[in-house]
Amino acid sequence: MKVTVFGIGYVGLVQGAVLASVGHDVVCVDVDEEKVKNLEKGIIPIYEPGLTSLVEDNYQSGRLKFTTDSKFAVGHGDFQFIAVGTPPDEDGSADLKYVLAVAETIAKNMQTPKIIINKSTVPVGTADKVSEKIKTVLAERGEVIDFDVVSNPEFLKEGAAVNDCLKPDRIIVGTVNKHSEEMMRELYAPFNRNHDKIIVMDVRSAELTKYAANCMLATKISFMNEMSNLAEKLGADIEAVRHGIGSDPRIGYQFIYPGCGYGGSCFPKDVQALVRTANDIDYKPSILEAVEEVNYRQKNKLFEYLDRHYQGAIEGKTIALWGLSFKPNTDDMREASSRVLMEKLWENGAKVQAYDPEAMEECQRIYGQKDGLTLVGTKEAALKGADVLVICTEWSQFRAPDFDLISNSLNEKLIVDGRNMYDPNTMEKKGIAYYAIGRGR
């Protein structure tokens, strides 16, 4: 089947490559010429396990093409995916200017019927706006061409995006048009083999499903972070509590890990956008507001431990920082807890020596040559001459470090762990002072 994908970002590139890999004929289009040229040379703009070879193989086979020519791209696909960004605007609501610009481009260039698919995370009602835009432009052109706007949100996790896309838990298809439903079923048939994962619903429900899923997950995390704060004050251990409640299958073990707050390009933005949507319709979203507030406070937690430990005298200290990305297996630092911590440390006159397996370039790009920031090539180098080790991201290579080396390298035997990676008893035996989330300090 012929597919066009607008937007070669994270979602568009993964979706395009995965659709090509099962045999569809895919054209990915973007306004960024350099990005397109690089992709043709095999240079992938993001770090995502498995993506480079998937893109290369399918590009070589001719099933996956990259272009900036939107007229050609619109002519190519019976399916037109919209996978462009929806950055939050000043008040937290999703900015639809890129989505609507793509709708306009499609409408100006289409000559045959199209199924237009919203893949970007967009507020409820966006499909209607896209439809309106297309109708208006077609009317201006004096043309009548069939089209349907389908909501088909993505549920990819960074670091596991290729796999999530190849083996989705569910495929949400928001449309009441029978022809579109059949076409979408055919498009996704290669991913729908063992049991039916396609869930068809009306467009608005599909749009809300995406927000509800992310907000539910963010709620689980903030709930656990709130419990961890209570555990700390009550002298309980949140890790024992996590085991205790996760064993109830109605609660489950997933997404109940306490930590130094959730980040990334999705949860913070989506919670804020749904709060905004609720406000617009005069509904007070009390739970969502609390989820956001708890997360905001949680991101300050690591600094608070340090501040308390040093009794406010943090100036001049050097902090070894392990992990910059918002979670492991990505170089993404959007809304990362590490940024909140580093910025607080700099404000208070401390220095940071940081190491991350993938996000060092990204950190450099964000902060440039900053006084108080040294990026080093190994986790061991980060420790040299530092006063304390702080962990912001649970990369697997931090799981079993050489604790003797840590003790010998640091000026003080002290670890502040934002991801609860170590056993407090082991730390005690090794004579290392250990602050972790919700574990009694």
Residues of each annotated binding site for NAD(+): 30, 35, 86, 121, 158, 269, 334
Quick check: 327 and 264 in contact, CB under 8 A? yes
Neighbours of 351 (CB within 10 A): 19
Number of residues that bind ligand UGA (CB under 6 A): 20
The H or E element spanning position 389 is: strand 388-391
The least distance separating ligand UGA from the CB of residue 329, rounded to whole angstroms, comes to 9
Among 155, 191, 223, 346, binds ligand UGA (CB under 6 A): 155
Q: How far apart are CA 63 and CA 76, in angstroms?
A: 12
Cβ proximity to ligand UGA, 327 vs 351, nearer residue: 327
What are the backbone angles phi and psi of residue 13, rounded to the nearest 5°? -70, -45
DSSP 174: E
Residue 156 within binding range of ligand UGA, rule CB under 6 A: yes
Cβ proximity to ligand UGA, 72 vs 255, nearer residue: 255
Cβ proximity to ligand UGA, 36 vs 238, nearer residue: 238
Name every residue whose Cβ is closer than 8 Å to that of residue 427 and which is 6 or more positions away in sequence: 403, 415, 433, 434
The count of C-alpha atoms lying within 13 angstroms of the C-alpha of 63, restricted to the half-sphere facing its C-beta, is 17
The tokens for 207 are 């749009």
The least distance separating ligand UGA from the CB of residue 419, rounded to whole angstroms, comes to 8
Residue 211 within binding range of ligand UGA, rule CB under 6 A: no
Quick check: 274 and 291 in contact, CB under 8 A? no
Binding-site residue ranges for substrate: 155-158, 210, 255-259, 263, 327
Q: What does the chain come to in residues?
A: 441
Cβ proximity to ligand UGA, 327 vs 339, nearer residue: 327
Nearest to 342, CA basis, from 294, 384, 306: 306
Residue 63 within binding range of ligand UGA, rule CB under 6 A: no
Residue in this structure with the two tokens 């949680």, named with its chain if needed = 298
Cβ proximity to ligand UGA, 105 vs 298, nearer residue: 298
Q: How far apart are CA 277 and CA 244, in angstroms?
A: 36
Q: In this structure, are strands 318-322 and 414-417 parallel, antiparallel, or unpaired?
A: unpaired
- Taking CA atoms, 351 is separated from 4, 204, 347, in Å, by 48, 49, 10
Instruction: Give the contact letters, 167-206, x = binds to ligand UGA (CB under 6 A), - = no.
Output: ----------------------------------------
Instruction: Give the contact letters, 368-407, x = binds to ligand UGA (CB under 6 A), - = no.
Output: ----------------------------------------
The tokens for 333 are 């630092």
The tokens for 331 are 């170089």
Among 326, 355, 395, 398, binds ligand UGA (CB under 6 A): 326
Q: How far apart are CA 441 and CA 434, in angstroms?
A: 8
Instruction: Give the contact letters, 102-121, x = binds to ligand UGA (CB under 6 A), - = no.
Output: -------------------x
Cβ proximity to ligand UGA, 26 vs 94, nearer residue: 94
**Catalytic pick among 165, 260, 266, 363:** 266
Q: How far apart are CA 155 and CA 168, in angstroms?
A: 8
Q: 435 by DSSP, 3-state: which?
A: strand
Cβ proximity to ligand UGA, 148 vs 158, nearer residue: 158
The least distance separating ligand UGA from the CB of residue 426, rounded to whole angstroms, comes to 22
The tokens for 244 are 């205790």
Q: How far apart are CA 274 and CA 271, in angstroms?
A: 5
Catalytic residue at 266? yes
The least distance separating ligand UGA from the CB of residue 267, rounded to whole angstroms, comes to 5
Instruction: Give the contact letters, 339-358, x = binds to ligand UGA (CB under 6 A), - = no.
Output: --------------------
Binders of ligand UGA among residues 245 to 284 (CB under 6 A) are 255-257, 259, 262-264, 266-267
Nearest to 338, CA basis, from 420, 261, 436, 439: 261
Q: 33 by DSSP, 3-state: which?
A: helix
Residue 217 within binding range of ligand UGA, rule CB under 6 A: yes
| Active-site annotation, residues | 266
Interacting residue ranges for ligand UGA, rule: CB under 6 A: 121, 154-158, 214, 217, 221, 255-257, 259, 262-264, 266-267, 326-327
